[in-house]
């Protein structure tokens, strides 16, 4: 599923749109991979599991990059 700035100007609304497209019942867990502080705030507000990628922010679930892939996938819920 994909949502973008064509769907809404606010990032949280874009995330809500993607969630609705992926799971209209809102019953499946979601893991979001992001790279900035706004990702941390948005995921906290929406109750979404976050994995921070890179060095730009602080979060208890963080990876440097997607290699090795299994390190990234261990955070998926």
- What pLDDT is stored for residue 12 in this prediction? 93
- What pLDDT is stored for residue 3 in this prediction? 86
In a domain, 19, yes or no: yes
In a domain, 1, yes or no: no
Determine the distance from the C-alpha atom of residue 71 to the mean position of all C-alpha atoms in its chain, rounded to a whole number. 16
User: pTM value?
Assistant: 0.83
**Angle at Cα 32 formed by Cα 27 and Cα 38, nearest 5°?**
120
Q: What domain range includes position 36?
A: 11-73
In a domain, 4, yes or no: no
The pLDDT tens digits for 19-72 are 999 999 989 999 999 999 999 999 999 999 999 999 988 999 999 999 999 999
In a domain, 33, yes or no: yes
In a domain, 37, yes or no: yes
CATH number at residue 45: 3.40.50.1000
pLDDT band at 11 (very low <50, low <70, confident <90, very high): confident
């Amino acid at each position: 599923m994909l949502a973008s700035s064509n769907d809404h100007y606010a990032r949280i609304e874009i995330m809500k749109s993607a969630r609705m497209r992926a799971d209209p019942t809102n019953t499946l867990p979601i893991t979001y991979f992001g790279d900035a502080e706004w990702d941390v705030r948005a995921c906290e507000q929406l109750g979404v599991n976050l994995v921070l990628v890179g060095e730009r922010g602080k979060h208890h679930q963080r990876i440097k990059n997607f290699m090795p892939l299994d390190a990234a996938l261990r955070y998926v819920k």
